Amino acid sequence: GAGVSQSPSNKVTEKGKDVELRCDPISGHTALYWYRQSLGQGLEFLIYFQGNSAPDKSGLPSDRFSAERTGGSVSTLTIQRTQQEDSAVYLCASSKTSGRASNTGELFFGEGSRLTVL
């Protein structure tokens, strides 16, 4: 597509429920990132995928969070047993590559999925 597409744009769920957030990156972008943006906070890195390499999961806040990327394209972020502190905007971004020489860091962001846990 022309840009990074995320769905749903808004999700309200009850504490304890599982949620899935989807990201469709820009076609041809091999690197995909998930960030979390809480009110009044900066962007918190969660996880990143680069091609067929093992994902960097170092930013995931707990084992309730997981993500996968199928076929090197669409990614799904799953939050199990949601808690109120999970309420935030979840941003997905993609870039052409994560290689040192060719990527100077320009990321293309989706519009985010706003998650509200009641």
Partner 1 sequence: AQSVAQPEDQVNVAEGNPLTVKCTYSVSGNPYLFWYVQYPNRGLQFLLKYITGDNLVKGSYGFEAEFNKSQTSFHLKKPSALVSDSALYFCAVRVPSGSARQLTFGSGTQLTVLP
Encoded tokens for 116: 């509200």
Shortest reach from residue 81's CB to partner 1, in Å = 27
5-117-115 Cα angle (round to 5): 15
Q: Quick check: 77 binds partner 1 (CB under 8 A)?
A: no
Candidates 14-22, 41-49, 60-68, 80-88; binding stretch for partner 1 (CB under 8 A): 41-49
Site size for partner 1, by CB under 8 A?
28
Measured from the CB atom, is 6 or 82 closer to partner 1?
6
What is the rounded CA–CA span in Å between residue 2 and residue 80?
31
| Interface residue list for partner 1 (CB under 8 A) | 4, 6, 31, 33, 40-43, 45, 48, 50, 56, 91, 93, 95, 98-100, 103-112
